[in-house]
Amino acid sequence: NASSYRGDAAVTTWLHRIVVNACLDRIRRRSTRPTVALPEEENHATLSRLTERRDAMDERETSMEINRALAALPAEQAAAIVLIDVEGWSVEEAAVILNCPPGTVKSRCSRGRVKLAATLGHLRNPDHDDGVTATNTKNLGSNVGAASLKGEK
């Protein structure tokens, strides 16, 4: 109330005190409200829904990250990896589609997997980074294919 201002101090000091008092009143009101715990079933269901949403969001982010990594590969390597690891074509079928020898398809996949492993290695084991080599990328392709297609077409 403006009529309560006495003029003893600056207006800003008076306004500051009003704001502080209003905040303290609000805190006091909140602390006196009774709280009621949710029944255990509702609590569990709510937690379950939140976990499912977080998992779906994590999958979506992983899928987007994999798609970005695939897009960063040379087109020939990305095409070979998509045909073999995502679409499930055999090396021979992919060779016919890409109009190149099967050995070329294998080498493109191998080189692309090494690059993907370097880029996406943290997704395989986020707590441990042991370096990436050509020998530990053998099964990366099937992991890439499964994750990149979840929810994407």
Q: Is the pLDDT of residue 153 over 50?
A: no
Amino acid 35: pLDDT: 67
Mean pLDDT of 13-25: 80
Q: What is the Cα–Cα distance from 126 to 139, expressed in whole angstroms?
A: 17
pLDDT-derived band at 145 (thresholds 50, 70, 90) equals: low
Global pTM value: 0.52
88-109 pLDDT tens trace: 999 999 999 999 999 999 999 9
